[in-house]
Structure 1
Amino acid sequence: MSLGLKTDLCVIGAGAAGLSIAAVAARLGAKVVLVERAHMGGECLNFGCVPSKALLAASKTAHTVRNAHLFGIDAVPAVDFKRVHAHIRSAIDAIAPHDSVERFEKLGVTLIRGDARFAGPREIVIGDRLIRAHRTVIATGSAPVVPPIPGLDQVHYFTNETIFDNDVLPEHLIILGGGPIGVEIGQAYRRLGAEVTIVEREKAMPRDDQELARPLLQHLVDEGAAIREQANVTAVAPDGQDIRLTIEEAGHTTQLRGSHLLVAAGRSPRTTDLHLEAAGVRFDKNGIVVDKHLMTSTPGIYAAGDVVDGPRFTHVCSYHAGIVIRNALFRIPAKIDYRSLPWVTYTDPELAQIGMTEEAARKEHGEKLRVARIPFSASDRAQTEGATAGTVKIVVHGNGHILGASILGAHAGELAHLWIVAIERKLNLRSIAQMMAPYPTWGELNKMAAAEFSRPLLAHPMTHLLVKALSWLP
């Protein structure tokens, strides 16, 4: 083994969390070693956010052309899937330089390729190199879960880490898993011309507000996708050039055949081969256990991103990076706070959740809860663009404290921003209801939703009496 390399900070994993931490630490003057065994940019750039959104953009374009007659324009899309695939690759290539080896080396980061394993609380081994780190951050991300279905290993199947290498439009794509990944890719492939069946063992989109998730799923069905919930796949087998699934539903056994199979059954933390025991770092099947400061059970070792037991989103990785930097480098006791946690499913329409769903809020606050809704059809902008499907739903404590927002509709992810700030900064509804919103914009929906809470007061007889009494004043 070569002589040890001493460093202020060793970051294991060059995904969203690891890259953010390494870049900021290097700019602050820390000596940083970054270890990556595979792709710079991690899942988000190579297998997740970037390629999936590029695919969704292509499919939305096809859908827009197909429905252009609604605006008095006649057109028929001709989908060339190899060119769609080229668009996906070009999006990755355009963003890749920001996450490249060259950029980080210019920042002064020492990049080491290979598998990292702990030899002790302050020692990391990569191949024949020994790193002695004052602080270490584990940011190894997560991997696709492959369920133990008999016969699955006998057929070719995609995961989110391989589906974007595919440049052939499937005749019939079967998707195992009705979460955000399965639903997004399912709608995209359906709009591009493939037959699509989503098979979910329990309930699709279970983490989202069901009042809004169900209409979204129905929207996919209306577009021609099949969604089979409470459907347990008991076997998979090749069937000529196709793939055959045996499914149990409501006590009945059926067969489902498709040309391609995507396994989108969730993700699990990458902790294998890190030898965490040698460093005294506690972990379980859900990920590395951390405290509110993202410190592991071993002082000086932090964990961030998908490898942590908690929410797994790219924006959470970036959020974790800020928490780690403040704690590890500045010794500022920053804590994680998920009260305003947002997530978005980028279907069309989009489904966004900020903070608590109504179900979660009712469990905690019971009858003290107040809920207001405004339909997208109330927006003049939505009317002009023919995008009136959807709802903005706000959940508030009786004292006016905003607990959460659920949004189904066009640009839901953009509309979410205001509610994130409102929850973080503890803004009251009056601040939002009284803001000056430009007309006509999608953002007016947030103002209208906040104003819904004052409608009962405006209609109250005492309010009417007050206005009448004041009208007599000179």
Structure 2
Amino acid sequence: MSQTIKADIAVIGAGSGGLSVAAGAAQLDLKVVLFEKGEMGGDCLNYGCVPSKALIAAASAAHEARHSGHLGISAKAVSVDFAKVMAHVHATIATIAPVDSQERFEGLGCQVVREAARFVDARTVASDSVRVEARKFVIATGSRAMIPPIPGLDATPHLTNETIFELKSLPERLIVLGGGPIGAELGQAFRRLGSEVVIIEAEAILGREDPEAAKVVAEQLEADGVELMAGHKAIRVEAGPTVVLQSGDREVRVSGSHLLVALGRTPSIDDLNLEAAGIARDRNGIVTDKSLLSSNRRVFAVGDAAGRGQFTHLAGTHASLVVRRALFALPVNANAVQVPRVTYCDPEVGAIGLGEAEARKQHGADIRVQTFEFAENDRAQAEGDTRGFGKLITTARGKVLGVTLVGRHAGDHIQLWSLALTAGLKLSQLTGMIAPYPTRGEISKRLASAFYTPALFSDRTRKVVSILKHFA
């Protein structure tokens, strides 16, 4: 017979969002029950952000060793021990895992139930061993790899981000279905570790990003030896594995030793019995209002399950909003959150806000676009890596609409623009800051300053200066 528990808040899912809500509530002495059917830490720790960046770090080290001749450094031979690479990946996970562990959260006062939970009615969830009646619920179940209904795919062994980090040997030839961030990042990493790699994409590589920025990354992928097959749609998969593609009016066959499916993600909410609790959903996830409340006013959704974007940092932000709304009854607005994103290829792409095409669609002629090349940045020149640029998009009056950076460590430098958009900073405040020299971060000040350049050196300004010089 199931045990019945009365709780202040029940959290389903122990990933970034769920853990943050649970920790906040427990430290405020609320009764918290936390359900997790899989690994504590969720997808990011175990199958996503952490292992992929550890793998990328190893791949980058191998690449730098091979390609530092322009700096006067030459390595005659680079040896990759794939077993040790994967040991590094799993050691990284193990080092971070205690922060997300069951023991830590029980120490905070949470009751952790390592079972799948589902709604019984509008105010009750149940697992195999417990029933929980709570004042509030938070769905934080994340997402999983989307496996499309391509004929033959279900019958052919394939990898996803949840299984690729369990490989024991380096793939000889890796076929990657999907040219988005996951496919591009892992494809480049495995190529640099020594695999042959082909990336298949029905549309454009990194199609969500600024086309000029995506082109910089695609050129580097090709320079690394990755075969890019953009504009090719997979129509079936055969044993081998072999992927049969449609290219115009002909079929193309691509064979390899391993197949990675990286065609996006889908929210993990199918097994929650949402109907029993009156919780509405759509193709993106659980339908929520600006307070992240579902159609059941006791139930919040955060992170990937909320269908507002699939980023660990967004899930953490959602968690903080839910704590403010559910525990302190403060107004919040998830619709107003400015969310940066980074693709961790080499070079990285960092972006926030509107892209140029979207800005033109929404604002018409009332936009200004400033660009600055890393080739004009002294630190980039000193490092011998001038790939990429920054692009700033504003209204004609200088309101920041969006920024894209592509280049080394772009993900670190996009953070200033995240602050600018979140805090509503003016461009004049960015031009007034002192950027240490020489740093790649100077690019942000140069972009902001470029907005004022036409007015500063205009004929009108020259005339004003010619008059003022007599009074100086």
Shorter-chain TM-score above 0.5: yes
- Specify the SS of the correspondent of 2:94: helix
Letter in 1 for 2:412: E
Structure 2: how far apart are the matches of 1:164 and 1:440? 38
Letter in 2 for 1:65: A
Q: Is the 8 A contact 1:405 1:419 kept in 2?
A: yes
Q: Report the counterpart of residue 31 of structure 1 in structure 2.
A: 31
Residue identity (%): 45
Instruction: Tell me the CA shift for residue 72 of structure 1.
Output: 0.8
Counterparts of 1:334-345 in structure 2, within 5 Å, are 334-338=332-336, 340-345=338-343
1:405 aligns to 2:406 (yes or no): no
Q: Is the 8 A contact 1:221 1:227 kept in 2?
A: yes
Instruction: Tell me the CA shift for residue 324 of structure 1.
Output: 0.5
Compute the RMSD of aligned alpha carbons. Answer: 1.1
- Specify the SS of the correspondent of 1:329: helix
Structure 1: how far apart are the matches of 2:257 and 2:54? 23
Instruction: Tell me the CA shift for residue 2 of structure 1.
Output: 2.7
Q: Report the counterpart of residue 93 of structure 2 in structure 1.
A: 92
Choose 88-97 or 148-157, whichever is displaced more: 148-157
- CA deviation digits over 1:428-453, x for unaligned, max 9? 11111121111111111111111111
Q: Is the 8 A contact 1:338 1:355 kept in 2?
A: no
Q: Report the counterpart of residue 420 of structure 1 in structure 2.
A: 418
Structure 2: how far apart are the matches of 1:77 and 1:308? 45
- Specify the SS of the correspondent of 1:4: strand
Structure 2: how far apart are the matches of 1:3 and 1:38? 21
Q: Report the counterpart of residue 304 of structure 1 in structure 2.
A: 302
- Specify the SS of the correspondent of 1:367: coil
1:461 aligns to 2:462 (yes or no): no
- Specify the SS of the correspondent of 1:468: helix
Letter in 1 for 2:200: V
- CA deviation digits over 1:354-378, x for unaligned, max 9? 1111111111111000000000111
Q: Is the 8 A contact 1:11 1:137 kept in 2?
A: yes
- CA deviation digits over 1:150-205, x for unaligned, max 9? 11122211001001111211111000001100000011011111111000122221
- Specify the SS of the correspondent of 2:7: strand
Q: Report the counterpart of residue 225 of structure 2 in structure 1.
A: 224
Q: Is the 8 A contact 2:9 2:136 kept in 1?
A: yes
Q: Report the counterpart of residue 74 of structure 1 in structure 2.
A: 74
Instruction: Tell me the CA shift for residue 338 of structure 1.
Output: 4.6
Q: Report the counterpart of residue 471 of structure 2 in structure 1.
A: 473
Instruction: Tell me the CA shift for residue 339 of structure 1.
Output: 5.5
Instruction: Tell me the CA shift for residue 209 of structure 1.
Output: 1.2
Q: Is the 8 A contact 2:145 2:161 kept in 1?
A: yes
- CA deviation digits over 1:317-345, x for unaligned, max 9? 00100111011110101111455221000
Structure 2: how far apart are the matches of 1:187 and 1:406? 21
Instruction: Tell me the CA shift for residue 284 of structure 1.
Output: 2.2
Identify which of 423, 438, 441 aligns with 2:439.
441
Letter in 1 for 2:227: A
Q: Is the 8 A contact 1:339 1:423 kept in 2?
A: no
Structure 2: how far apart are the matches of 1:337 and 1:94? 35
Q: Report the counterpart of residue 136 of structure 1 in structure 2.
A: 137
Structure 2: how far apart are the matches of 1:114 and 1:460? 68
Structure 1: how far apart are the matches of 2:437 and 2:102? 45
Letter in 1 for 2:270: T
Counterparts of 1:55-454 in structure 2, within 5 Å, are 55-75=55-75, 76-239=77-240, 243-338=241-336, 340-454=338-452
Structure 2: how far apart are the matches of 1:41 and 1:415? 27
Cα 1:84–1:46 change in 2 (3 A) is: same
Letter in 1 for 2:463: L
Structure 1: how far apart are the matches of 2:459 and 2:154? 69
Instruction: Tell me the CA shift for residue 206 of structure 1.
Output: 1.9
Segments of structure 1 that go 5 or more residues without pairing to the other structure are none
Q: Is the 8 A contact 1:340 1:404 kept in 2?
A: no
Q: Is the 8 A contact 2:2 2:128 kept in 1?
A: no
- Specify the SS of the correspondent of 1:472: coil
Letter in 2 for 1:61: A
Structure 2: how far apart are the matches of 1:452 and 1:58? 37
Structure 1: how far apart are the matches of 2:261 and 2:90? 21
Letter in 1 for 2:35: V
Structure 1: how far apart are the matches of 2:425 and 2:221? 36
Q: Report the counterpart of residue 43 of structure 1 in structure 2.
A: 43
Structure 2: how far apart are the matches of 1:434 and 1:337? 30
Structure 2: how far apart are the matches of 1:194 and 1:98? 34
Q: Is the 8 A contact 1:339 1:355 kept in 2?
A: no
Letter in 2 for 1:461: D
Segments of structure 2 that go 5 or more residues without pairing to the other structure are none
Cα 1:177–1:199 change in 2 (3 A) is: same
Structure 2: how far apart are the matches of 1:337 and 1:218? 35
Instruction: Tell me the CA shift for residue 28 of structure 1.
Output: 1.3
Letter in 2 for 1:67: H
- Specify the SS of the correspondent of 1:208: coil
- Specify the SS of the correspondent of 1:268: strand
Instruction: Tell me the CA shift for residue 230 of structure 1.
Output: 1.6
Letter in 2 for 1:69: G
Structure 2: how far apart are the matches of 1:306 and 1:355? 19
TM-score, normalised to structure 2, is 0.98
After the TM superposition, which parts of structure 1 deviate over 3 Å for at least 4 consecutive aligned residues?
none
- Specify the SS of the correspondent of 2:70: helix
TM-score, normalised to structure 1, is 0.98
- Specify the SS of the correspondent of 1:451: helix
Q: Is the 8 A contact 2:216 2:387 kept in 1?
A: no
Q: Is the 8 A contact 2:398 2:451 kept in 1?
A: no
Choose 99-108 or 197-206, whichever is displaced more: 197-206
Number of equivalent positions: 471
Structure 2: how far apart are the matches of 1:358 and 1:369? 9
